[in-house]
Amino acid sequence: MRRILLLGAAGVAILAPVTQAVAQGQPPKPPPMPEEIRHPLSAGDRLAHLGVNGAFGGFSAAMFALARGKNPWRAALVGFGGGVAMGAGKQVAARRFDGSGLVGRQLAALGTSVVRSASEDTLVMMVPIGPMTVEVRPSAVDRVRPRVNLVSAGTVLYYIVRADTRIDMDATLSAGAPVFRFPTETVATRDGVIFGRMDFGTILLGAAPPVLDPQRRMTLPHEATHVVQYDFLEQALSLPPERAILRKLGVSEGWLRHVDVGAISVMLAGVLQMHMDYEDRPWEREAVLLTEGRR
């Protein structure tokens, strides 16, 4: 069980960048690079990114297969394919077109479903909808199983009741995740003041200025990429061991079928953020790589 609990930390470390991208900085910054002279990712960079995500998916599936006494090589092969699909979803979510985050999140969820199902007895397809996930199990009695994540749902509720935030419906539909805006143009975090952040599946942005420079136009895709990363951390790495622990503690199966706590991912994310500088966090470097490209 300890090996499973540490899997998230080991897996996140594998998500090293495939290029030396500079992390999304904190204002003030030099004048943003004009859109027409930015350097997008090459086809080789994109293939390398898919390969890294494929390796991550294969490694994750193999470790869970070993913990369950199953064939790790078959799980690794299936997980590699799921990881590639997850990487493709990230690349779509990082694009700037209406609905890119929604399409990318669902494509990545398909890949995450494959990674998770590689070490399980039945196929589980996941469809994330805000703080909820609909699980489709074709061979189970209850084929459609809605689940709510308490941490993610509590985060959405918190920003709904706050007086200084408002939900941005257009951005929410485009990102495929709840998006809230503050009245100021920037958002404060423990790392400083930036244009946006992602809290447990919810995106927070500053107020949209009349004219958006290229950097601010990349903020929503950047945070949408973090939502996809968070989905994988939850569904493939954190929730399976969390459910096993709750079963050991005697939590009823009725609860476990429809409710997740989401505590392990919170603790894991907190530990990693405390011990890693902003510029060194692989999830930040990956999001910058996909939204800003190679400079």
Q: What pLDDT is stored for residue 65 in this prediction?
A: 92
The tokens for 155 are 């985060």
CB 67 within 8 A of CB 2: no
pLDDT digits (tens, 9 = 90+) for 225-269: 999 999 999 999 999 999 999 999 999 998 999 999 999 999 988
Calculate mean pLDDT across residues 282-290.
91
Query: Is the predicted pLDDT of residue 21 greater than 60, yes or no?
Result: no
Q: Average pLDDT over the chain, rounded to whole?
A: 83
Query: For the whole model, what pTM was predicted?
Result: 0.82
Residue 110 binned pLDDT confidence (cut-offs 50, 70, 90): very high
Separation CA 227–CA 230 (nearest Å)? 5
Place of tokens 């699909």: 85
The strand pairing partners of 179, in sequence order, are: 203
Q: Give 119-176 pLDDT, tens digit per residue.
A: 887 888 999 999 999 999 887 777 899 999 999 999 999 999 999 999 999 999 999 9
- Give me the amino acid identity at 153: A
Calculate the alpha carbon distances from 103 to 225, 228, 266 in Å: 12, 11, 25
- Show the tokens assigned to 69: 């006494």
CA torsion 118→272→2→249, rounded to 10°? -90
The helix (H) or strand (E) run that includes residue 274 is helix 263-275
Two tokens, residue 58: 């294969």
Nearest to 243 by CA among 127, 167, 133: 133
Contact between 160 and 173 (Cβ < 8 Å):
no
Q: Say which residues have a Cβ less than 8 Å from residue 224's Cβ, sequence separation at least 6.
A: 93, 94, 100, 101, 104, 105, 175, 176, 177, 203
How high is the pLDDT of residue 12?
A: 40
User: For residue 4, what pLDDT is reported?
Assistant: 41
Residue 96 DSSP one-character state: -
- Using alpha carbons, list the distances in angstroms from residue 258 to 6, 47, 132, 238, 287: 25, 37, 10, 16, 31
Block residue for tokens 């485009």 = 174
The per-residue pLDDT for range 71-96, each reduced to its tens digit, is 999 999 999 999 999 999 999 999 98
Instruction: Report which DSSP code applies to 128.
Output: E
**Residues ≥6 apart with Cβ < 8 Å to 162:** none
| Residue 184 vs residue 193, higher pLDDT | 184
Q: What is the pLDDT of residue 223?
A: 95
